[in-house]
Amino acid sequence: MPFQTTLTEALGIAIPVVQGGMQWVGYAELASAVSNAGGLGIITALTQPSPADLRKEIQRCKMMTSKPFAVNITLLPAIVPPDYDAYAQVVIDEGVRIVETAGNSPGPIIKKLKDANIIILHKCTTIRHALSAQKLRVDFLSIDGFECAGHIGEHDITNFVLLRRAAQSLTTPFIASGGFGDGEGLAGALALGACGINMGTRFMCTAEAPIHENVKQAIVAATEGDTELLLRRWRNTSRLFKNKVAIEAKKVEKESVTGKFEEIAPYVSGKRGRNVFITGDIDEGVFSFFSPLLSNSAVLGSYSHNGCSYRVNG
């Protein structure tokens, strides 16, 4: 029988699984594959060097799937920020009807997209931020617990607590993000009040993910202890794969007398992180990661919900 939640009904997808909008991973190949499999694939806007390149990537994705897919627009702090308005306009012009937003001061971009009747999924790491996003008329909230990869916020609240607080506090439907890698996790999220999950690291191990096989094998072999938290000193805490460079960076962060970001910047360079995916050298740089204890099975899980049994295939 069909798997129906508020998320699947609103987005027109078959399975309540949203692919994470991962930098250097969310290209058309992966997004279309996830959408074709019944979930919601996501193209990462800032993986594209310009709005014109994003337009081409959206058009490529349309050639690979007739199913719904989304674009992630994450607003990051920068001395010279990207032209977010132009990226959003491309999404509107190309007729993409779902956008995942995240980051700082998203109000103007969300308003622009909502005025174009686009469905918005907005990511939050606290209930306070989620309540603020509700006022912006977002359609879904993505609630990120402490377990998530990448930017985890500064409050260290786990999903078991955060999701129940979301169910008690929010009127906007929400999906669960952070630490989900199989069907059992999906069932748990539904039981806690979510209408779906956001899953990132697991999709990094798929054939369609544009990263080196060495990285995929390292993720599959990882344990629950193979993550490192960096940049807490600068209130930009990130969960990363625990490799040599992450361990060295952690040492610099702890021992720095000046506390200047410049001391750790060479270790957390985005260029070095991208090179990991290209060269397969696990210790070339840092990259976002949560340890999902992957299995080699193609089946993500079997579970029951509301008296019905389901299987999600990867």
Q: What is the pLDDT of residues 27-78, one digit of tens each?
A: 999 999 999 999 999 999 999 999 999 999 999 999 999 999 999 999 987 7
- C-alpha 20/C-alpha 198 separation (Å) is 6
**SS3 for 120?**
strand
Q: Are strands 140-144 and 174-177 parallel, antiparallel or unpaired?
A: parallel
Q: What is the DSSP string of 184-216?
A: HHHHHHHHTT-S-EEE-HHHHTSTTS-S-HHHH
- pLDDT at residue 293 in the model: 52
Give CB contacts under 8 A, 24+ apart, made by 122-126: 123/177, 123/198, 125/151, 125/152, 125/153, 125/154, 125/155, 125/157, 126/153, 126/155, 126/157
CA distance 289 to 55: 28
The DSSP bridge pattern shows strands 227-230 and 197-199 to be unpaired
CB 305 within 8 A of CB 187: yes
The pLDDT score that the predictor gives to residue 79 is 76
In the chain, where are the structural domains located? 6-210
Which pLDDT score, from 0 to 100, does residue 80 have?
86
Per-residue pLDDT of the chain (314 residues; tens, 9 = 90+): 457 999 999 999 999 999 999 999 999 999 999 999 999 999 999 999 999 999 999 999 999 999 999 999 999 877 789 999 999 999 999 999 999 999 888 999 999 999 999 999 999 999 999 999 999 999 999 999 999 988 888 989 999 999 999 999 999 999 999 999 888 999 999 999 999 999 999 999 999 999 999 999 999 999 889 999 999 999 889 999 999 999 999 999 999 889 899 999 999 998 999 999 999 999 999 999 886 655 444 333 333 333 333 343 44
CA dist 124 and 121 (Å) reads: 10
- What angle, 0 to 180 degrees and rounded to 10, lies between the N-to-C axes of helices 127-135 and 159-169? 40
**Cβ atoms within 10 Å of 5's Cβ, excluding its own:** 18
Torsion over CA of 73, 65, 33 and 178, rounded to 10 degrees?
Answer: 30
pLDDT of res. 2: 59
> 6-210 falls under which CATH superfamily?
Aldolase class I (3.20.20.70)
Complete edge-to-edge strand list for the sheet that includes strand 227-230 = 150-151, 238-241, 227-230
pTM for this predicted structure: 0.90
